[in-house]
Structures are given as structure tokens and as C-alpha cells.
Amino acid sequence: MRTYDFNPEKPYRDNPDLHLLYWGREECAPGHAVGPMVRDNYVIHFIHNGSGTVQVGKHTYSLKAGQAFLIYPNVLTFYKADMQSPWVYSWLVFFGEQVEPILARTRLTPEKPVFPMDIRIMPDMYNQLTMVSGQEPGADLKIKALMYNFLSVLTETVPLSIPLISSPRRRDTYIVQGMEYIHAHYHEQVYIEQLASFVRLERKYFSTIFKESVGLTPQQYLLQYRMNKACELLRKGQYTVGEVAHSVGYTDSLLFSRMFKKLKGTSPKHYRHLISHSDINP
């Protein structure tokens, strides 16, 4: 399954400082392959689940969830999903005069394009861009802000200079995998034991590193993610509160309403009423 969105704003000049063209997400079929081919723009893929390989020049990389790769313009690239565990990835397509000098501040090169996802923004770029793209006025500024934030984090994740003492980034992979599990199963009953088992860590240790990295416990992150999804459904205006509750993992509509009000400060019904009678963009 493949979904994608185009940036509704056109670049204000032929070669702007930074411009996002479109973004998307795909659950690849086993063995799904792209290329070998060259692109006109920069393309970044964030791997959320599964695995696959990327071939650039003489280099072949095996990638899995928690990693990402950058395709440079005019560089022949081939990538393929694994046959047994095909990857799920999201992507960004962008260009601009500032991109090359920003990337020059990282260790990335056309033939060494692989990097670990930083959990602060990268795993959720697709959702964030999709959310802000429909917010008027100022959608173009919000998209640009997200892109600059991403590139800023990228320069911190793979800086040109390697610190003498570098902290291992393996635990970021565990956090990304845990977050993606929540994103895929938030409409079901989710227990911390399941999350920890999924990433093959002890429950207490997983909860500790998740809180240290994300700033929320896994339970708090799950609640926040569910309520953000509920807001998306309520904004559509075509579902009852009960239908929204079931869609985000609650069999008890009253419990859902209580948790929604606790997090959002108003009831689901009142939230939907406010959205339908105003131009605010929560």
C-alpha cells in the first residue's frame, strides 16, 4: 500500500533555499525493487519496519527498521525490499540551494548515504507533514520549518566530525521500533510487555530508555498518539464519538471521552463543535 502527498505551495523562485516537493509512505511487497535509476532531486527514505538492501556504486548496504538512506541527485541507485520481511518506509523528495552546503556538514556522501534515524523527529516526519499541510494559513511555513528542523537534527545525528567519545545509537533503534509498533497497533489493546517483547528488551529497561529518549513513558506516548489520531477523525466530522473511540482502541466511549478531555482540555463533542464552527487549526 502506497500513500503520498504533494506540497501545495510552489517554490517562489527556480532554485529556492529549500523546497519539499512531496512525501509518502509505502508498505512494500516482498522483493519490491526500484532502479537502478537516477533522480533529479534529493530523496530520503526512513525505514519503519522490515528490511532491504540499497546499492550505490560499488557499495551494498543491508538496512532495517530504525535506519534511513539518502539518495543524491544524478547518482545511480538501486534498492530492494527483503523477500521474507519487506520494509515499510516513508520518504521525502526535496531540493534547494541550501541542501548541498547543509549536507556538507554531515558525514553523508553519495556512496555512503546510510544513517540512523533520530527519534526526535525522523520517524514521524510523514505524519507531521501530512498534518500541517492542510492547516491554513501558514502551511508552507510549517512545512519549511519541519524540513529545516529535520536537516538540523541530521547534522547532529551524523556530524562531519566524529566525537572522541560517541554514545552508542543502538538504543535509538529500539525506541523507533517501539514507536512504530504503537503506530501500527494503537487501535488495539497495547501492553508494555508486548512492546518490550517486540524489541527484545526487558520491560523495565525498555520503559526507562523510552522515557529518557522521548520524554514520555510508553503509556503516555500511546495515549498522546491515540488522542492525536482521534482529533484527526473528529475533524473529518463524519464519525460519531463512539466510532472514533473504537477506532483508537477504546471499547468504552465514556472512558475515551474522559481521557480525551484530560489530554485535550475539552470533550470530543465540544472539540468537534469548535472545529466545525471556526477556522482554528489545533
pLDDT tens-digit series, residues 83-134? 999 999 999 999 999 999 999 989 899 989 998 888 778 888 888 888 888 7
Q: In the structure grid, which three cell numbers stand for residue 282, read together?
A: 489545533
**Banded model confidence at residue 138, pLDDT cuts 50, 70, 90:** confident
Q: How is the chain split into domains, by residue range?
A: 2-157, 167-282
Output 37 or 194, whichever has higher pLDDT: 37
In this prediction, residues 123-148 reach a mean pLDDT of: 84
What does the chain look like in DSSP terms, one character per residue?
Answer: -EEEEE-SSPPSSSS-S-EEEEEEEEEPPTT-EEEEE--SSEEEEEEEESEEEEEETTEEEEEETTEEEEEPTT--EEEEE-SSSB-EEEEEEEE-TTHHHHHTTBS-BTTB-EEEPPTTTGGGHHHHHHHHHT-SSSHHHHHHHHHHHHHHHHHHHSBSSPPSS----HHHHHHHHHHHHHHHHTTS---HHHHHHHHT--HHHHHHHHHHHHSS-HHHHHHHHHHHHHHHHHHHT-S-HHHHHHHTT-S-HHHHHHHHHHHHSS-HHHHHHHHHTS----
- pLDDT digits 0-9 by tens, 232-282: 888 888 889 999 999 999 999 999 999 999 888 889 988 887 766 554 333
Q: What is the pLDDT of residue 165?
A: 39
The CATH superfamily assigned to 2-157 is Regulatory protein AraC (2.60.120.280)
Q: Average pLDDT of 225-236?
A: 89
Are domains 2-157 and 167-282 of this chain identical in fold? no
Q: Give the pLDDT confidence of 156-210 residue by residue, as tens digits.
A: 888 876 544 334 456 777 888 888 888 888 988 888 888 888 888 888 888 988 8
Overall fold of domain 167-282: Arc Repressor Mutant, subunit A (1.10.10)
| pLDDT value of residue 164 | 42
Average pLDDT over residues 42-63: 92
Q: What is the pTM of this model?
A: 0.61
The reported pLDDT for the residue numbered 275 is 67
pLDDT at 276: 62
